């Protein structure tokens, strides 16, 4: 993720990954890992039992107790049978509102969390800022 990436750019990229709960989230996780690495943030991938999904944890700031964790999930519900008038895997704007699968739950928050991590990585934090992205929230967590 380039330091000049906006939270909207990040959201557009996250929405482009069709991380339907029945499918893999690994392409999204790989992209997030690369973004974090580009900001000098190490992450830890924790594979799921099926091997096609993973959780991701990361931290910036001092390695001490305390801090804040930004926690979100990466899966979305299916789009089949829904009356989408735009491509659900492409961010679009209408009347000042952003649309795309997961824009409100949960990829919108995930984009803001990634943006915050990138910004925080350049600061002299007194407490850590942590990131936790999970999978399968939409099918039982």
137 annotated active-site: yes
Catalytic residue, candidates 33, 75, 110, 138:
75
For residue 75, indicate whether it is catalytic.
Answer: yes
Token pair of 74 as six digits: 């990466």
The bridge status of strand 97-99 relative to strand 92-94 is antiparallel
Cα distance between the two ends of the chain: 28
Residue with tokens 């380039």, as numbered in its chain: 2
Out of 30, 87, 136, 137, pick the active-site residue. Answer: 137
Q: Which residue has the tokens 């936790």?
A: 132
Q: Which backbone phi and psi does 52 adopt, to 5 degrees? A: -110, 10
With H, G, I as helix, E, B as strand and everything else as coil, classify residue 7: helix
Cis (ω within 30 of 0) for the bond into 106?
Answer: yes
Paired with 131 in beta bridges are: 58, 70
Give catalytic residues, as residue numbers: 75, 137
């Amino acid at each position: 993720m380039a330091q000049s990436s906006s939270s909207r750019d990040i959201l557009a990229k996250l929405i482009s990954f069709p991380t339907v709960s029945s499918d893999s989230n690994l392409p999204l996780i790989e992209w997030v890992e690369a973004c974090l690495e580009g900001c000098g943030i190490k992450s830890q991938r924790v594979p799921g039992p099926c091997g096609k999904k993973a959780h991701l944890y990361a931290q910036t700031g001092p390695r001490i107790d305390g801090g804040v964790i930004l926690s979100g999930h990466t899966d979305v519900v299916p789009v089949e049978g829904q009356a989408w008038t735009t491509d659900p895997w492409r961010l679009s704007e209408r009347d000042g509102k952003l649309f795309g699968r997961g824009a409100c739950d949960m990829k919108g928050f995930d984009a803001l969390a990634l943006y915050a991590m990138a910004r925080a990585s350049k600061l002299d934090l007194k407490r850590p800022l942590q990131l936790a992205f999970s999978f399968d929230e939409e099918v039982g967590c």
